[in-house]
Structure 1
Amino acid sequence: MSGGLHELSAVAQLAALRTGDVSSRELTEHYLGRIEKLDGELGAFATVTPDLALEEAAGADRRIARGEWSPLLGLPSGIKDLYPAAGVRTTFGSAALAEFRPPADSWTAGLLRQAGAVLVGKTTTAEFGATCYTDNDVTGRPAVTPYDLTRYASGSSGGAAAAVAAGLLPLAHAGDGAGSTRTPAATCHLVGVKPSRGLVSSSVPPTSPTSTTIEGPIARTVEDAALLLDVLAHPWSGDPDGWRADGSFADAVGRPPARRRIAVWTDPGFGDVRRHPEVVRAVERTAGLLQELGHEVREVKIPAACDDPVRLALRTHFAASVHAAVRSLVPPGRRGLLRPYTRYLWAEGEALSGAALFAAHRVLAQYASAFETALASFDVALTPVTNGPPVPLGYFEAGGVTGIADTMLAWSAPTPWANWTGRPAVSLPSHLDGDGLPYGVQLVGRRRDDASLLALAAQLERSAPWNDVHPSCWDD
């Protein structure tokens, strides 16, 4: 087997590895070649590890020849650069940590390696995951969507999404604290999954009982996403929120879902920001498909707006998170290397009192409660992922650091509520507009009902496949 190996899904690549139609070395060399050729323009990788990848591929080939098998054995993959991999440069998107090599894997990196994944590198992220665009001073270039190299691949998992969309990886590990898996998936015409709280454990410092971040897959198909989620969905025994699903997600996506009751809205929920017409088109198109498939779809008013108190509370939460990360990871003498927005959040976090932080979390709990109450009689919510297409480079910083938070929320306000409720959410491709820019939709399910949500997503994919749409670099 040769040629466009990246055209195969991750599931198909694993089948070819198992039957011997392709070797892990051949597959890994194919992806390393594409990274070398294309990533200079995409900014998908912070670190590429060709020697390690080829060594791991050789080991995978030996295991396969002995008849051994594990879920990702021999499959090239990448780890988001917010998550340590033992001995591999892990920068957290920060020039202050440009040469940091952790001594141990994060929990999820360990799961990926135990499953036999071949690590080809660390995908680019925003500094400490603080922004919904991926630009940092480690690589010196932003991660861009392969559909338009002048526009961001969103963030903070922008590198992961750019890599999968351009055929530099078959699938990728990502993380989502307020939409950071789903918005990159939407800008790159991909599937992005934020699992229910506790399904995937994080071991990245600093951890917090109020953390909203959870790791998950970015992939081209729902089946591929389910494959990776099955590997990640093994919480560590000390996780107070940890739980395990009944059965595998890979099996769930092959079954038709039960009839679902679905709430739908298109309001971005941010001040007087108007609904973007292509976003409305995406949601209405998907709502129509769901009705044709026999589901009950009902338009409702957005349960809660991202108003001034919520915006302030979100900014307080992220200032506290960034402050904790910087304090625990960055030596004082290197904090001058932080990007301006990170320094701004650090200063806000430094001035925060415990009372102010608790007050912010109380506002966000009430915000989440409004969604829980309004959706109590529904199985799923269908909403936008973003309020518009991928945005041009420099868009979020045009008003200076004090305006970045609100500019980001005006574009990405549809996503954070799913993090605060702990519900599972999946971003699915919808369509490309007349300029060839991607749009996505978001499905949000009941807590710990991830399998049913993925089954619904897979049913949508079968009814209106999106995997035949690729950026121009796909055939390079």
Structure 2
Amino acid sequence: MSLHDLTATAQLNALRGGEVSSRELTEHYLGRIDRLDAGLGAFITVTPELALEEAIRADKRIAEGEWAPLLGLPIGIKDLYPAAGVRTTFGSAALAGFVPPEDSWTTGLVRRAGAVLVGKTNTAEFGATCYTHNEVTARPAVTPYDLGRYSSGSSGGAATAVAAGLVPLATAGDGAGSTRTPAAACHLVGVKPSRGLVGSPALVSTTVEGPIARTVADAALLLGVMADSHFAYGIRKPLRIAVWTETGLEGPAHPQAIHTVERTADLLRELGHDVREVEIPAVCDEPVRLALRKHFASSVHAAVSTLVPSDDRARLLPYTRYLDAEGAAMPGSEVLAVQEILEHYASKFLAAFEDFDVALTPVTNGPPVPVGHFLAEGVEAVADSMLAWSCYTPWANFTGQPAIALPSHVDEGLPYGVQLVGRPRQDAELLALAAQLEDAALWQDIHPPCWRP
């Protein structure tokens, strides 16, 4: 058994028990990154000197009897979130040299919890796409199960890193599925917490940070640190679970998306839960699709206006420039109208939760897609192409509900995931249900070919 075979929780126990040192663990992961990442695109920046300094310091603290939740554990931080003194590019070539003086709030919590920062994971430019392909790195983030397919985005690098055994845990962020779809593409657990649980809730932001991990326990461990809290989770009663596979769009559900839900629903029934098939509470019709595109255009425009000097904007990706221009052309009244449409859309989902505790859906409408797929028809078609594949995830961002992506199965070498969405602020209950499915063997402990190089 290699060190990366151990879960994050098991590694922490080994660190505290003196069975392994943080330096040994960190060198193991840095070696794997050095050997494997050129073909994976998991990291934008690797920090070997800093990581070894932090590991040596962690070993000293452990020897002195100190305790912290992540003390000595290597970790990757998504490159949308600043780390003091470490290059942070936001996935943009226009910011390739930016080094922030301070940690972001959540990064600070993770680092103060004793984690060893081995690097910043690859991300889509300003988190704008459900694929991770930018001009900062030599190659896009790909799923380790098929190096010709994206690991999704915008947290693609985080998922690639954990799935390939380059780190035991990684932070992520989810504005429309950006934690959950990468988790599904890489046979991992990805958590989008309730709005406001992690960090400070912005009035119009749908994005919330969360963990990507191999197990529910590991995800709960990192989520507790990111939320500056602790999750004691358990199920005290059978849950009422609604199931749908409808996409909400004109196109049909992929057969494997349907299969993920059917096999999970059967298992939930065996576990004693009340599982009912329902119609999707709201469809993603043309006004909603247009509102979604304009919402993200305004978000990208705000990021570009704040972070990128006007002289450097020619270095932005074509799709980012397209969204920036669309966002710049929107008057304030249109931004408010967009929010009203999306709030009405979200309210239909929230109303449906008066009758059930959890929703069960696919994560993605099909397997991880080939590199270049979303840009095949030009920038004007990117938004619709992304939504056709990731149609099951955005609604939970607008309702603010907790959601978790879990592995389902691997078919012909490609992973598929299933999504659970809980009532607002019922994160612990959702984690408990996920742990119950994990214990009942919803998914197997499968690894990609690079796990054993």
Q: What is the TM-score when the length of structure 2 is the normalising length?
A: 0.99
Q: Which residue of 2 aligns with 1:319?
A: 297
Question: Is 1:343 paired with 2:321?
Answer: yes
Q: Which residue of 2 aligns with 1:457?
A: 434
How does 1:119-134 map onto structure 2 within 5 Å?
119-134=117-132
Instruction: State the one-letter code of the partner of 2:92.
Output: S
Instruction: State the one-letter code of the partner of 2:409.
Output: H
CA distance in structure 2 between the aligned counterparts of 1:466 and 1:73, rounded to whole angstroms: 29
CA distance in structure 1 between the aligned counterparts of 2:118 and 2:151, rounded to whole angstroms: 20
1:265 aligns with one of 235, 244, 252: 244
Q: Root-mean-square deviation (CA), in Å?
A: 1.0
Q: Which residue of 1 aligns with 2:48?
A: 50
SS in 1 for 2:266: helix
Given that residues 39 and 45 in structure 1 are in contact (C-alpha distance below 8 angstroms), is that contact kept between their aligned partners in structure 2?
yes
Question: Is 1:334 paired with 2:312?
Answer: yes
Question: Is 1:105 paired with 2:103?
Answer: yes
CA distance in structure 2 between the aligned counterparts of 1:358 and 1:413, rounded to whole angstroms: 23
Q: Which residue of 2 aligns with 1:217?
A: 211
Question: Is 1:73 paired with 2:52?
Answer: no
CA distance in structure 2 between the aligned counterparts of 1:193 and 1:468, rounded to whole angstroms: 19
1:164 aligns with one of 162, 167, 189: 162
Instruction: State the one-letter code of the partner of 1:222.
Output: V
CA distance in structure 2 between the aligned counterparts of 1:4 and 1:32, rounded to whole angstroms: 14
How does 1:43-442 map onto structure 2 within 5 Å?
43-201=41-199, 208-234=202-228, 248-249=230-231, 251-252=232-233, 255-271=234-250, 273-433=251-411, 435-442=412-419
CA distance in structure 1 between the aligned counterparts of 2:443 and 2:409, rounded to whole angstroms: 8
Given that residues 267 and 302 in structure 1 are in contact (C-alpha distance below 8 angstroms), is that contact kept between their aligned partners in structure 2?
yes
Given that residues 303 and 370 in structure 1 are in contact (C-alpha distance below 8 angstroms), is that contact kept between their aligned partners in structure 2?
yes
CA distance in structure 1 between the aligned counterparts of 2:406 and 2:387, rounded to whole angstroms: 20
CA distance in structure 1 between the aligned counterparts of 2:323 and 2:196, rounded to whole angstroms: 27
Given that residues 268 and 384 in structure 1 are in contact (C-alpha distance below 8 angstroms), is that contact kept between their aligned partners in structure 2?
no
Provide, for residues 351-408 of structure 1, a one-character-per-residue CA deviation record: whole Å limited to 9, x for no partner: 0000111001100000000111122110000001110000001100001000000000
Given that residues 409 and 444 in structure 2 are in contact (C-alpha distance below 8 angstroms), is that contact kept between their aligned partners in structure 1?
no
CA distance in structure 2 between the aligned counterparts of 1:379 and 1:468, rounded to whole angstroms: 28
Provide, for residues 219-276 of structure 1, a one-character-per-residue CA deviation record: whole Å limited to 9, x for no partner: 0000000000110113xxxxxxxxxx6xx22x31xx34521000000011112x1111
CA distance in structure 2 between the aligned counterparts of 1:467 and 1:214, rounded to whole angstroms: 28
How much has 1:208 moved relative to structure 2?
Answer: 4.1
Q: Which residue of 2 aligns with 1:446?
A: 423
CA distance in structure 1 between the aligned counterparts of 2:143 and 2:39, rounded to whole angstroms: 10
Q: Which residues of structure 2 form unaligned runs of 5+?
A: none
Given that residues 235 and 429 in structure 2 are in contact (C-alpha distance below 8 angstroms), is that contact kept between their aligned partners in structure 1?
no
How much has 1:168 moved relative to structure 2?
Answer: 0.3
Provide, for residues 305-336 of structure 1, a one-character-per-residue CA deviation record: whole Å limited to 9, x for no partner: 11111111111111110000001000111000
Q: Which residue of 2 aligns with 1:238?
A: none
Given that residues 257 and 459 in structure 1 are in contact (C-alpha distance below 8 angstroms), is that contact kept between their aligned partners in structure 2?
no
State the aligned residue count. 453
Given that residues 76 and 120 in structure 1 are in contact (C-alpha distance below 8 angstroms), is that contact kept between their aligned partners in structure 2?
yes
Instruction: State the one-letter code of the partner of 1:131.
Output: T
Instruction: State the one-letter code of the partner of 1:391.
Output: V
How much has 1:281 moved relative to structure 2?
Answer: 0.5
Provide, for residues 65-117 of structure 1, a one-character-per-residue CA deviation record: whole Å limited to 9, x for no partner: 00001000000001000000001000000000001000100001100011000
Provide, for residues 126-151 of structure 1, a one-character-per-residue CA deviation record: whole Å limited to 9, x for no partner: 00000000000000310000000000
Percentage of matched positions with identical amino acids: 71
SS in 1 for 2:76: strand
Instruction: State the one-letter code of the partner of 2:162.
Output: V
Instruction: State the one-letter code of the partner of 2:5.
Output: E
